A and B are shown apart, each in its own frame.
Chain A
Amino acid sequence: MLKLQDLEVSFPVRAGLFSKRRCIRAVRQVSLSIPRGQIVGLVGESGCGKSTLARAVIGMQKPTSGQVLFEGEDLYALPPAQFKTARQGMQMVFQDPFSALNPRFEVGRTIAEPMQIRGGYSKTEMEERAVELLLKVGLNESDKNRHPSDFSGGQRQRIGIARAIALNPQLLVLDEPVSALDVSVHAQIMNLLMDLHEELGLTYLFISHNLADVKDISHQVGVMYLGSLMERGQTASVFEQPLHPYTRSLLAAVLSLDDQRPPVITKGDIPSPIEVPLGCPFASRCPQTKPRCLQEQPQLLEWQPGHFAACHFPLVN
Chain B
Amino acid sequence: MSQAPLLDVQGLKVIFPTAMGMVRAVEGIDLAITPGECAALVGESGCGKSVSSQAILRLLSSPPALMSARRLQFDGQDLQTLTEQQMAQIRGRKVGMVFQDALTALNPVMSVGRQLDEVFIKHCGMNKSQAKETSIKALATVGVSSPDQRYRQFPHQLSGGMRQRVLIAMAFAADPKLIIADEPTTALDVTIQMQVLEELKTLQQERHTALLLITHDLSVVNFLADKIYVMYSGKIVESGPVKQLLGRPFHPYTEGLLASVPRLDTCTARYYQIPDQVPNPMNKPSGCHFHPRCSYRDSLCAQHMPPLRELMPGRMVRCHHPLMNKDEGTAHHA
Contact = CB atoms under 8 A, between A and B. Distances in A.
Given A184-B256, A285-B191, 13 more contacts: A182-B44, A182-B216, A183-B44, A183-B257, A183-B260, A187-B274, A211-B190, A256-B264, A258-B265, A264-B194, A269-B161, A269-B162, A269-B192
Interface string A177-188: 000001111111
A117 interface: no
Interface in A255-284: 255-260, 263-267, 269-270
A297 B218 CA distance: 38
A85 to B, nearest CB: 35
Contacts of A186: 260, 262, 271
B258 A257 contact: yes
Interface in B212-262: 216, 218-220, 222-223, 243, 246, 256-258, 260-262
B286 interface: no
21 contacts: A45-B192, A152-B278, A154-B277, A155-B277, A184-B273, A184-B274, A187-B271, A194-B270, A212-B261, A212-B262, A213-B262, A215-B267, A216-B268, A250-B191, A256-B263, A257-B261, A259-B243, A265-B198, A266-B191, A269-B159, A285-B191
B1 interface: no
A191 B145 CA distance: 43
Interface of B: 44-45, 145, 159-162, 189-195, 197-198, 216, 218-220, 222-223, 243, 246, 256-258, 260-265, 267-274, 277-278
Contacts of A270: 159, 189, 191-192
A64 interface: no
A263 B216 contact: no
Contacts of B162: 269
A209 interface: yes
A194 B192 CA distance: 30
Of all A-B residue pairs in the complex, the 10 with the closest CB atoms, nearest first, are A255-B219, A45-B189, A212-B262, A187-B260, A187-B271, A182-B44, A187-B273, A184-B274, A266-B191, A253-B194
A239 interface: yes
A200 interface: no
A251 interface: yes
A257 B246 contact: yes
Interface residues on A, range: 35 or more
Contacts of A264: 194
Nearest to A184: B274
A10 interface: no
A170 interface: no
A100 interface: no
Contact of A265 (B160, B194, B216, B222): B194
Contacts of A269: 145, 159, 161-162, 192
Contacts of A259: 222-223, 243
A183 B47 CA distance: 13
Contact of A209 (B190, B261, B272): B190
A254 interface: yes
A188 B258 contact: no
A186 B278 CA distance: 13
A178 B117 CA distance: 40
Contacts of B246: 257
